[in-house]
Amino acid sequence: MQSHFEKSRALQKRATQTIPLGVNSNFRYWGEGITPYVQKAQGAYLWDVDGNRYIDYRLAFGPIILGHAHPDVNSCVHEEIDQGVLFAMTGELEVAVIEKIVAMCPAVEMARLACSGTEATMHALRVARAYTGRELVIKFEGMYHGFQDYMLFSTYAPVEAYGSYRSPIPIPASSGIPKALNDLVVTLPFNDFEGLEKTLRRVGYETAAVIAEPCMGNCGAILPAPGFLEFIRQKCTEYGIVFILDEVKTGFRIANGGAQEFYRLDPDMATYAKAIGNGYPLAAFGGKKSIMQIVGRGVSQGGTYNNNKPGVAAAYATLSLLQSQPILETIALRGQRLMDGLKAIFAEAGIPACFNGYPAMFSFALGVETVTNQRDWSESEKGYYLRLVEAAIQRGVMPDHDPREPWFLCYSHGEAEIDETLDVMRDVVKSVKR
Ligand SMILES: Cc1ncc(COP(=O)(O)O)c(C=O)c1O
């Protein structure tokens, strides 16, 4: 444990009186007495209320791409908010932001803004249903598309509940999700060509959308098997289904044009949030003109805060920096060095570690050689991973507590931070019993 943690414990106790679990999102609760409460963050670092400093690999679950409190982003936001923050009318800066999204993301010809990833996927699903006149949606087990009821199935349930590979059971992730929605979703294991093919033979012409993260950004960053995303593309074309690529985690992170640039993929629609605004709230959904132009023509979409000025200004500054400097290339090089260093540490210790994801967002599953979907990922040594992570956090290196969450890198992680992280992890792997 950090030498001081009293203030976090005291704040947790106080917060628990008025906030369920003392946090404003279930995922931020790590347990009683061990949940850090934050004072501030700058660059690649985060400080808790006791003054402990951490190299931050959570990066708020991914949005921070340049670094915390980035001066160029903050100064653009300051300049803009002095002229008002919300008008419920359209301004030039938000038009420029959408022009940037269209210029950067190869499959996006038109887009609209929203405030969160949850909203972006919710809007995209409505558009896909309206466009096809169908209701069923196919999603993959272990993928997360936000907190809306439609998609909160088979995200993080124990996989024993998922049933057989050939007839998976959609498992709602929460009480309170209407039973009727079970009939609107089909869940499948990721990377299962045959499962998708068979399912589409059965329900292809009733299916409005196949929604997929390019990699399992909410379950160990499991990569797509070669050709799997392309297979989804091909099958969606065959059955007249809208292919929605959920780039909320990969967008403006693994390449300027996200996974669709990385894999040269042509989804019908894509959703964005997180890195688009370097931490300020903004999201977008977009895609082919033929689909997007039904928005507003019989298809309803709105939101008071959709063009909130802080988010729009932050996105303008962030995307301008990504367009003008080799930021993501630099992050990829440093991330690769971190991944290679960690691989060497586990290899030296004789511990099987299956690395997945991209240098800017990667994971490792321990005690297994390969993982292709949530079912086999769940066989990994999660308890050991957690003990390693807790020891790393005590030494000032902070990945997320949850083994499903990737390690995220930002432009502010320099060579010195990578070196320090590798030193800490070498020590941790030596000292924590498997
Ligand atoms: C792939 C994906 N889609 C959607 C969401 C929901 O985004 P938000 O938390 O901004 O609502 C997330 C959040 O982690 C995500 O990872």
pLDDT value of residue 1:
47
Closest to 35 in 3D by CA, of 60, 61, 10: 10
Assess whether the C-beta atom of 145 lies below 6 angstroms from ligand 1.
Answer: yes
Query: Which residues of the chain are modeled with pLDDT < 50?
Result: 1
Cβ of 248 closer than 6 Å to ligand 1, yes or no, is yes
Q: Is 123 in the pocket of ligand 1 (CB under 6 A)?
A: no
Same domain, 149 and 189: yes
Catalytic residue of the set 57, 131, 144, 272 = 144
**Are 145 and 110 members of one domain?**
yes
Which pLDDT value is given to residue 2? Answer: 62
Asked if the structure places residue 406 within a domain, the reply is yes
Per-residue model confidence as pLDDT tens digits over 175-191? 999 999 999 999 999 99
pLDDT tens string 79-133: 999 999 999 999 999 999 999 999 999 999 999 999 999 999 999 999 999 999 9
Beta-carbon contacts of 195 under 8 Å, excluding residues fewer than 6 positions away, are: 165, 166, 168, 188, 189
Indicate whether 221 belongs to any domain: yes
Q: Is 146 in the pocket of ligand 1 (CB under 6 A)?
A: yes
Nearest Cα residue to atom 4 of ligand 1: 145
Q: Which of 275, 302, 324 is the last residue of a domain?
A: 324
Q: Domain boundary at 305, 324, 343, which?
A: 324
CATH of the domain at 10: 3.90.1150.10
Residue 145 CA to ligand 1 center (angstroms) comes to: 5
- Kindly list the distances between the CA atom of residue 374 and the CA atoms of 44, 190, 223, 238, in Å, as whole numbers in the listed order: 30, 8, 11, 27
Per-residue model confidence as pLDDT tens digits over 245-254:
999 999 999 9
The per-residue pLDDT for 157 is 84
At 145 the pLDDT is: 98
154 with 162: CB under 8 angstroms?
yes
Distance 221 CA to ligand 1 centre (A): 14
Whole-number Å distance, alpha carbon 20 to ligand 1 midpoint, is 21
Q: How far apart are CA 235 and CA 200, in angstroms?
A: 8
367's tokens: 């005690």
Catalytic residue status for 246: yes
Q: How many domains does the chain have?
A: 2
In a domain, 362, yes or no: no
Tell me which of 190, 274, 400 to substitute to probe ligand 1's pocket, judged by most ligand atoms within 8 Å of the beta carbon.
Answer: 274
Report the atom number in ligand 1 closest to the C-alpha of 281. 10
Residue 354 is assigned to a structural domain of this protein = no
In this structure, are 95 and 111 located in the same domain? yes
Catalytic entry in 48, 56, 192, 246: 246
Domain check: are 100 and 206 in the same one?
yes
156 and 51 belong to one structural domain: no
Ligand 1 lined by 144 (C-beta under 6 Å): yes
Q: Do 194 and 254 belong together in one domain?
A: yes
Same domain? For 299 and 425 the reply is no
Range of the domain at 256: 71-324
Ligand 1 neighbour 301 (Cβ under 6 A): no
pLDDT recorded at residue 199: 98
Kindly state whether residue 139 falls inside one of the protein's structural domains.
Answer: yes
Task: Give pLDDT tens digits for 411-426.
Answer: 999 999 999 999 999 9
